[in-house]
Every structure is written in structure tokens, then in C-alpha cells.
């Protein structure tokens, strides 16, 4: 039983306070999903500005629509009594060059987080903002990780298309 998202516009205008709440909730859901534990409604409400908490159902509907259309996740209510939710991946394995060995693995997750951050910032993001978001997730620029090596190289070489002269 997923949330009805058919009537929600798929645009984010972060300068609009309502949309800012949607963006905050969306980012929380994407980060929280990494833990693979159910997401409690009470946790989600903490990310909504107090003045907008009475509009939580609409904010949740909009966030669910963005999750579905952009990330191909379905926000599904797991337990109505406990008010817990999970994100279900509706996207099968997608072959990306350099990510073939594990298309749904750590590199894909990191790429989705970065693209989500760019989307939440109006389809643009400064490099410093990306690194700040990654730092909050425990990924440091110069710290080599066993799951995908150097984060700096991954972002600057594997994820970024080379620029060719026109």
C-alpha cells in the first residue's frame, strides 16, 4: 500500500518554505534508507519546520512523489499502527560504465545521493556543498574507503564526464 502520488507536481522550488520542507524530508528519507531500518513517522516530523507540521500529510505525499519519479523508490507504509515506512527500490539493475560489477552497490548509492543533492538544490550544487553532504554521511575527500577507493577520484574522474573541446 504505497502513498498516492499521482497529483503531485514534480518540481522543487527550495526558496518556497513548503518545498523546502519537502526537500528536507526527501533528503532525510534518502539518508535514513541507507540504514535499512523502518522509518518512523515521528522521525520524519522532526525534519518539518514547526509551522508546517500540520501539513505533514501533504509534505509526505510530495516527498513520496519525488522519490518515485526521480529515484524510483516507493515509500510504503510498513506498519499503520506503529506508523513506520520503508523505501522500496522499483528500479532493477542499471548498467553504468564503471559500476557494472555492482550496479546497486555502494558506488550507485553514492551517485544517487549526489544526484539527489543536486536536484534538491535546484539542479545545481557547489562542490563544497556536495563534500559537506558526503562528510555528514561519513565519506571524507582524502580518506580511502575499501568499498570504492578514493572518494575524490570517484567523484572527479568516474562520476564526472570529461570535457571535450567544441
Show the domain range for 112.
Answer: 106-158
CA 48 to chain centre: 16
Q: Could you report the per-residue pLDDT of 6-19, keeping only the tens digit for each?
A: 444 445 555 678 88
Instruction: Collect the ranges in the chain with pLDDT lower than 70.
Output: 1-15, 91-105, 146-147, 161-166
**Residue 72 included in any domain:** yes
Q: Could you report the per-residue pLDDT of 137-159, keeping only the tens digit for each?
A: 777 777 777 667 788 888 887 77
Number of domains the chain is built from? 2
**Residue 41 included in any domain:** yes
How far is it, in rounded angstroms, from Cα 2 to Cα 4?
6
**Residue 164 included in any domain:** no
Give the pLDDT confidence score for residue 57 in this predicted structure. Answer: 95
Q: What is the CATH number of the domain that holds 62?
A: 1.10.10.1200
Within 8 A by CB and 6+ apart from 149, the residues are none
How far is it, in rounded angstroms, from Cα 113 to Cα 136?
12
Give the pLDDT confidence score for residue 3 in this predicted structure. Answer: 54
Backbone φ, ψ for residue 2 (5° rounding): -85, 170
Pair (21, 84) in one structural domain: yes
Give the pLDDT confidence score for residue 58 in this predicted structure. Answer: 95
- pTM of the complete model: 0.55
Give the pLDDT confidence score for residue 61 in this predicted structure. Answer: 94
**Residue 99 included in any domain:** no
How far is it, in rounded angstroms, from Cα 59 to Cα 157?
36
How far is it, in rounded angstroms, from Cα 127 to Cα 22?
23
Give the pLDDT confidence score for residue 15 in this predicted structure. Answer: 66
Give the pLDDT confidence score for residue 71 in this predicted structure. Answer: 78
Amino acid at each position: 500500500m504505497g502513498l498516492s502520488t499521482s497529483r503531485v507536481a514534480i518540481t522543487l522550488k527550495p526558496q518556497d518554505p513548503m518545498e523546502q520542507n519537502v526537500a528536507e524530508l526527501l533528503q532525510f528519507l534518502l539518508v535514513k534508507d541507507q540504514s535499512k531500518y523502518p522509518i518512523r513517522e515521528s522521525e520524519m516530523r522532526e525534519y518539518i519546520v514547526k509551522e508546517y507540521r500540520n501539513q505533514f500529510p501533504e509534505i509526505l505525499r510530495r516527498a513520496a512523489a519525488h522519490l518515485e519519479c526521480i529515484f524510483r523508490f516507493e515509500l510504503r507504509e510498513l506498519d499503520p499502527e506503529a506508523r513506520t515506512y520503508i523505501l522500496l527500490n522499483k528500479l532493477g539493475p542499471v548498467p553504468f560504465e564503471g559500476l557494472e560489477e555492482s550496479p546497486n552497490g555502494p558506488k550507485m548509492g553514492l551517485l544517487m545521493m549526489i544526484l539527489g543533492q543536486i536536484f534538491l538544490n535546484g539542479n545545481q550544487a557547489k562542490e563544497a556543498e556536495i563534500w559537506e553532504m558526503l562528510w555528514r554521511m561519513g565519506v571524507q575527500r582524502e580518506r580511502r574507503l575499501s568499498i570504492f577507493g578514493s572518494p575524490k577520484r570517484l567523484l572527479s574522474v568516474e562520476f564526472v564526464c570529461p570535457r571535450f573541446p567544441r
